Amino acid sequence: MGVSGYASPQSVIGVTITFLVIAVLAVALRLWTRFFIVRHPGFDDLFIAGAVLCTIGLAICTCVEVKISIGRHIWTLSPEEGIAGNKALYASIAIYNIGLLCTKWSILIQYLRIFPQKGFRVACYVMLAVCLIYASWCFWNALFFCSPVKAFWDPTIVAAGEGTCFSREAVWFANAGINIVTDCIIAALPIPMLNKLNISKRQKIALMAVFALGGFTCIISVLRLVSVYAVTNTDDPTYNNGRAALWSALEINIAIICSCIPTLKSIATRFFPRIFSTQAQSEGTPPYGQSYVSGRAPYSDPGKRLQGNFSAFQRPIIGRGSDNAEIHLDQFGERSRRDIKVVTVVDQEVEERSGESSSTRNLVDSESLRRTSEER
């Protein structure tokens, strides 16, 4: 008995639109954080913006397919409806592959911004090249799947012996399999680096959980593979194409959402400082209104150094201004206020296991230096 790929048109539309909205909101918050809070956008943000444009296009194509053909038996469609539905499918495949490439590149470039270790960066560059080659094949193969091209949406051309097409089962299965492999590799890449960090077990687990969210994409990719099998092994593809469309939309949208989550810490800290600052205080940051005039901040103790070049500046430094308003200094050194009247000294020590030279960066309030000179 064959595997059914049927999904009701209502469920396809509902899932597609719901996760599209969440993905768009996640990207909007990410871009707002990068441009207006930390003020440090990068190419990863550019690619994730491209990915969200692709998922919007994919949602439009899916809605057209649902309106015309998805969930309907192929023999109930008029020739015109069949051609229109296949044209929407043709466009959706190309858009889907571009969207996946943009999402994967965004994640990998984000890794490059976080981890400076040479071996890890080489692995990221290799995966960037692999994803580009794979996506290029998928995209151009989708465009020229049939010869002539219009044979993809007009089956009468092939039936009349006037055109040929690749085997959908062979090509789509191969593409889906490679996609799963790349998803799993990208999700697993940062885990060894996080495991080497000399931080508390709770922090380590939290970081691993954030980066392991990409594992959800791997699971969805496998479920999509099952739906691809169903749609390529049936005589009624329009009826059995619902799950493939649903899982495709879920895959790209969840990948976008997961890639945005690690970038939203700064905006969460700004709007919920009590919640997200509690952990920082409990692990050694001074209470509000206090500063370290000399010596080291507790979390920069040499016995508790972060190994690898992972920045200890991921948590905001918090003080108070002259009007007793809270002041946040984020990981990129941006201050939400400039009338700081307290002295804040933060040591950030970076050490690599490979024996590379360590560097100590000190941020010292200029007022502290002036007062020290006067005392002398």
Residues 216 and 299 placed together within one structural domain of the fold: no
Q: Which residue has the tokens 């077990």?
A: 201
Helix axes 43-68, 9-32, angle to 10 degrees: 160
Please give the model's pTM, rounded to 2 decimal places: 0.73
Query: Beta partners for 340?
Result: 321
CA distance 202 to 255: 25
CA distance 322 to 41: 31
For 65, the domain range is 9-269
Q: How many CB atoms lie within 10 A of CB 360?
A: 11
CATH number, domain containing residue 84: 1.20.1070
Residues 306 and 162 placed together within one structural domain of the fold: no
Instruction: Mention every residue, 6+ apart, whose C-beta is less than 8 A from residue 89.
Output: 61, 65, 153, 241
Residues 251 and 312 placed together within one structural domain of the fold: no
Residues 185 and 41 placed together within one structural domain of the fold: yes
- Phi and psi at residue 81, in whole multiples of 5°? -65, -40
| Residue that finishes a domain, picked among 269, 289, 316 | 269
Q: How many domains does the chain have?
A: 2
One pLDDT digit (tens) per residue for the chain, 376 residues? 467 899 999 999 999 999 999 999 999 999 999 999 989 999 999 999 999 999 999 999 999 999 999 999 999 999 999 999 999 999 999 999 999 999 999 999 999 998 899 999 999 999 999 999 999 999 999 999 999 999 999 999 999 999 999 999 999 999 999 999 999 999 999 988 887 777 778 777 877 787 777 788 899 999 999 999 999 999 999 999 999 999 999 999 999 999 999 888 888 777 777 665 544 443 433 333 333 333 334 333 434 333 443 333 344 444 444 444 334 444 444 444 444 444 444 443 333 444 444 333 343 444 444 444 445 4
- Phi and psi at residue 165, in whole multiples of 5°? -135, 155
Assess if residue 274 is contained within a domain: no
